[in-house]
Amino acid sequence: MTRQEWVKFSGKPDLDSSISFNQVGTGRIIPTRFHPPNTNDTLQSLFQPRISSTAIPPVRRFIRLTNPNQFLIYTDGACLDNGRASARAGCSFVFKPSTSQPESHGWVRFRLEDTGPTGEAHPQTSNRAELRAVIAALRFRVWTGEGFDSLVIATDSEYVVEGATSWVRRWLQRDWKTSIGQAVKNRDLWECLLGEIERWNGNGMQVQFWRIPRRWNTDADYHAKHAASEDAQDAFMNISVLGVLSRPFI
């Protein structure tokens, strides 16, 4: 499928049905950075494991202490032999605190696909894995159905945070060219991410990005590295609680 065919085919998916991976963002909504109120604030001081009773049944999430409608998801990507032909990348996100019950873990991990949402093949890189992990987290559940209207993506990736909140504006102005006229790498995933931002904005949820120190992202980092060693995945896939994963997530 060509990019023109992809754009023509794309449309706003229904949150109550399977999400189409052909959602192309236009840049109408650019996400913002999350700024902690105080310089000494940490993840634990702002977001703690709590129960959202709005969802039926209630769910455990990382919820803002001062705002029960805002929650946080950790994301990460990793790549073994990054920059080489043998590179293997993995993606992960942690959306809730895990418990002692194996069937109730709060993470998702998967090998980065060889192809993107347009069906075009791309090299396995750490940047691509970082970006892909965010897209997977945004598509995983109908988060607004759990009573949330604000999501903070916590990642240690400068590429993701700066790209999503700042660089993408200039890329759009230059028709997806860099300042030296080169094509922007991972354009398919950036457009996919913008589509997710617009989709959630239209359904009442704001998405923000928070760049955190790597030492705060150990769980997502562990699962991303583990996923990079898993079997290769050829085609781009939607990862949802109703699809790939069938375990209970309460």
Is residue 219 within 8 Å of 107, Cβ to Cβ? yes
pLDDT tens-digit readout, 168-222: 999 999 999 999 999 999 999 999 999 999 999 999 999 999 999 999 999 999 9
**β-bridge pairing 150-155 and 206-211:** parallel
Structure tokens at 70: 């805002």
**β-bridge pairing 107-111 and 88-94:** antiparallel
Residue 13 forms part of a structural domain: no
CB atoms within 10 A of CB 45: 12
Q: Is the pLDDT of residue 67 over 70?
A: yes
Residue 51 forms part of a structural domain: yes
pLDDT value at position 121?
A: 95
Percent of the chain at pLDDT above 90?
77
pLDDT value at position 4?
A: 36
Q: Which residues face 107 on adjacent strands?
A: 94
Distance CA 92, CA 74 (A): 8
Residue 103 forms part of a structural domain: yes
First to last CA, the chain: 38
Distance CA 35, CA 92 (A): 23
pLDDT tens-digit readout, 92-142: 999 999 875 655 689 999 999 999 999 999 999 999 999 999 999 999 999
What's the distance, CA 116 to chain centroid? Answer: 14
CB atoms within 10 A of CB 114: 15
| 208: DSSP letter | E
Residue 156 forms part of a structural domain: yes
Q: Which residues face 76 on adjacent strands?
A: 92
Structure tokens at 149: 């209207």
| Domain containing residue 60: CATH number | 3.30.420.10
Lowest mean pLDDT among 10-14, 77-81, 152-156, 205-209: 10-14
Structure tokens at 240: 């949802």
Sign of torsion over alpha carbons 192, 196, 201, 202: positive
Give whole-number Cα distances, 93 to 38, 74, 173, 231, in Å: 26, 5, 31, 18
Residue 6 forms part of a structural domain: no
pLDDT value at position 57?
A: 87
Considering its fold, how many domains does the chain have in total? 1
Q: What is the mean pLDDT of residues 6-18?
A: 36
Q: What is the value of pTM for the model shown?
A: 0.88
**β-bridge pairing 88-94 and 32-33:** unpaired
Q: Is the pLDDT of residue 245 over 50?
A: no
Structure tokens at 201: 């904005």
Residue 175 forms part of a structural domain: yes
Residue 15 forms part of a structural domain: no
By residue range, what is the domain housing residue 164? 22-32+43-228
